[in-house]
Structure 1
């Protein structure tokens, strides 16, 4: 009984300790440190980038360049030599996954950086006179006088404005990131900014060209002592199309935001649509040019001909090792005897094609596509073996149908030979009858002549 009381008391104490001191869970973090805040020209400084409780790819820039570097709950060091007076800054950005929450965390170079000040090495004086180098050997001693950097560290902006739109939030020197939404017709804005300290410098202002979609504008203020501060304007330009082209009964808009849009085997070019230069892609082997268009937020490549305009959609896909261009199938080709035109899926690619109405061929289907030489071809797919091959044009038949066809063919051959034999016999009988009739006729004529001769003699 005493043992049970002791165990219960121990358990109660344990629960109380856990409740009073809950387990602390650390969130993922990224930090940048340096071996010294100030160094002399010619010295080296070691920057350390550390990731705790997380993993991901990071980009190290500034005084150190190390792009797309993998960090997994670890630290990496970078040693740099200070070559001139000023500052050395190491920036870090990227995305890491938090081990605790299993969520991605974005690392911004605006908040994750470290700056080291580089100053001139002071002159050293030895006891007997000047010394222009390392300290001399012997009994003389050398002293170094510390140098204090009295330059201003003010790297704030006193004003920030743009020629189009309105910054959100309103400008404040302590706020370093802003956003603005602009109309689709805006192609550039002018950025104006002034530093709080007349000895600080500002870069990144003036006229800035913009693309449709997201644009990042960076304004850097560098203090007199070289310490930088980054202000960012995230400008979004409405991506709504400005140029349209007709295709059948549809109006397709030319996509303006083409960031990351590429097409394997095609070269970038341009075409003229209603007097507007539009980016396009051309394939010499396929001998086609395509443009990127959208309708109801669905974006696709379309084959463009300078004379005919848009002729077909073009969706380049890989199906079972074949690079094919899925195109619109003309209406006059959609009807096929014994087949149904419908949506089918092959190798996780969904497209229009044909299936056999005969359930005996449910494992077969037919598609129409452009190969990598620009040729339009029919391809037959067989699902049980998961194979795709050129379609010969011959209709598929079951073994039973084939055997019936062979038996029918053999029966027809037998009937043919019987009929042919009958014709030969009939022909022989006819010839024989004709010959016999001819001979009989000749005998009659001969008897008639003899009778005439007798009558004349009498």
Structure 2
């Protein structure tokens, strides 16, 4: 009986020791990665040095420094100025937290720097389109006429404002308004008691508008407010302030313009967009382009480098944006938001269906380089420093880009991300599995320990 207790105790103790030390560990190591395997002259590239363990890592090559890393990483952005190969090498000794031993580490990474291609895709021939010189002449004449008209209107408004200001300065009474509002649209410019002429633009479907106004002096009478019916094009209304003690008056003028309904185009999902067929705000790298949509001429923009056509439209929320338009299919393909990030030109565009992000991400408005853009964030708070954008570069190529908030670095997501979606899901699965194993082993250890204690007690009773 004593032998049974003895052997059982030894066996339980042996298994207990095995399970206690069967915990996943990771040896000390270091690595260096690069954001892209190939870049153009003039672009920047980012090298990231990572370490498991603790110690100084010596860095040489395109980056020359020595840094302390402790289960962490650090990135270095390097500009390129000529063709060739940029390399970064690392070396050092790291302390392994598990074995308490010093482990020598080394590694390297390199990137090929090439000249930017000079050849550009040719512009597709469109016999029905006017030549570039004719288009430039037409655009110049239209722009000149519009500028002259705007100058005349501005001068008339300036004269009107100056006249009213002088009347107010010479008046014994304060005839200024304290407030002036409209029920539809918005005053342009914003209300100022010393500014007397305003423009308001409303949708073509609006048939009436309500004007509200209050005087600074409660004894001053205000006329011309209330509900006003609108004409088909533009309507002008006067809000007159007057004093009951004198015959002096002051006049504020509001001109309401009806925006005519534009031509409707759709995307593949059937969503409608209203074309703004007026003067389109210019974008660097694009030239004026005339489209033919359902027999109607539409003003657009064309980029020879990107090979895309843009039209300017209102969406369902009446927000004016650029949109990529497919002339062959006659459909809107994507919104197009031109932005400049870290001195480079990009555009925020729609993500194709076959590349959409799904698990592990959420849509968000993200602040980057002094502006707020639509993008994506990781749902896991461990990656709160990272954000994802889908951008079109200056050559018309669209990719996911990763933004690291701490280092303020924007990189291609496919190669430089701290973790890809597949790796992210794999990491969560591995983490969950490790936790289950550890809890299982801990439970087994507790049971074995209880069994060992019971055997010891029984052994003492037998003796």
TM-score, length basis structure 2:
0.36
Higher relative contact order (CA 8 A, sep 6+): 2
Which is greater in Rg? 1
